[in-house]
Amino acid sequence: MSNSTSVSTFLLLEFSDVQELQILYFFLFLALYLPTITGNLLIIAAVALDHHLHTPMYFFLTNLAMMDLGIVSVIIPKSMTNSIMNSTTISYSGCVAQVFFYVFFVASDLSLLTVMAYDRYVAICNPLRYETIMHKGACLQMAVIVWISSLLYAIVHTSGTFANTFCSNVVSQFFCEIPKLLKLSCSDFYLFEIGLIVLSCFIALGCFIFIIITYMEIFSAVLRIPSAHGKKKAYSTCIPHLTVFSLLLFTELFAYARPPTDAPSDLDIPFALIYTIIPPMLNPFIYFMRNKEIKTALWKFLDFGDSSKRIFRLI
């Protein structure tokens, strides 16, 4: 294909050439998608309906759940459709949309985790000024900045990717991923997008360093809290966020630490599943398992009986 205008569809990586295995992949994606959707929707509903959770920390948690819903919904439904229809195609516009929304939600995820670290820092290291600093207007401004900056970031990356001319339409991944698309480029413009990716890596590294330094200050402050109850309460609000951040960090490192290859690998799909689906699926369960207030709100929302509550207390 001589240029990008001649590409009307892209061919994604095929799960299997056996129809029975394609159906098996459909149910695998369904088994991953339904818990992710359910868990994040429950977090959103619990926070929205319990006025005790109308605080900055849970406001940001609701935004995080919305972003996680977006990440999986951009990728999984199309993959399920292709599996059940025994197809590997995605339209050019569909590929553009997938790249744009995936980059948008992932960038929002990382930005919001950084903001949430700052929220925990103020709450624990400067509690007397917490309500003054993290007031409703400030929280809304932070959330708006996260969404708008991520939107602009997604626009720049999507434009930089699809401004290239493509010599092939065969994408060696089960969804439209920027690095895989750049391998199809036959123009020098791909160097611009690679430059953006390198810049993005430095920005992400800056966020990671900020979060790590923030938690060093937080744990230093927690160790100075005299009461065991105070320490336990501080840990109950920090550990879930730190676990979610660590999960995102290690899944990304696990996926991208392996040496790059030009040829498609049998590991492409499993690695992609790890860093695209596992964090959004586990995040709500991490908060549910480690945060007593979320548990209580979900009990009220689902109206569990006493026996069910005793079971979840054991968890």
| CA separation for the pair 144, 8 (Å, rounded) | 35
Q: Which residues contact 25 (CB under 8 A, 6 or more apart)?
A: 15, 16, 79, 83
- Domain limits of the chain? 4-314
Q: Which residues contact 269 (CB under 8 A, 6 or more apart)?
A: 13, 15, 173, 174
Among residues 257, 315, 261, the alpha carbon closest in space to that of 290 is found at 315
- Token readout for 140 is 């809304």
| CA separation for the pair 252, 213 (Å, rounded) | 20
Superfamily of domain 4-314: Rhodopsin 7-helix transmembrane proteins (1.20.1070.10)
Q: What is the pLDDT along the chain (315 residues), one digit of tens a residue?
A: 444 446 789 998 877 777 778 888 889 889 999 999 999 998 998 888 888 888 999 999 999 999 999 999 999 999 889 888 888 899 999 999 999 999 999 999 999 999 999 999 999 999 889 999 999 999 999 999 999 999 999 999 899 889 888 888 888 888 998 888 888 888 777 777 778 888 888 888 888 899 999 999 999 998 888 888 888 888 888 888 888 888 887 777 766 655 555 555 566 777 788 888 888 998 888 887 767 778 777 777 776 544 444 444 544
Q: What spatial distance separates the first Cα and last Cα of the chain, rounded to whole Å?
A: 57
**Given the structure tokens 């919001």, which residue do they identify?**
112
Q: What pLDDT is attached to residue 104?
A: 95
Spell out a b/e string for 166-205, using b for 16 or more CB atoms within 10 Å of the CB, else e.
Answer: beebebbbbbbbbebbbbbbeeeebeebeebeeebeeebe
| CA separation for the pair 232, 299 (Å, rounded) | 21
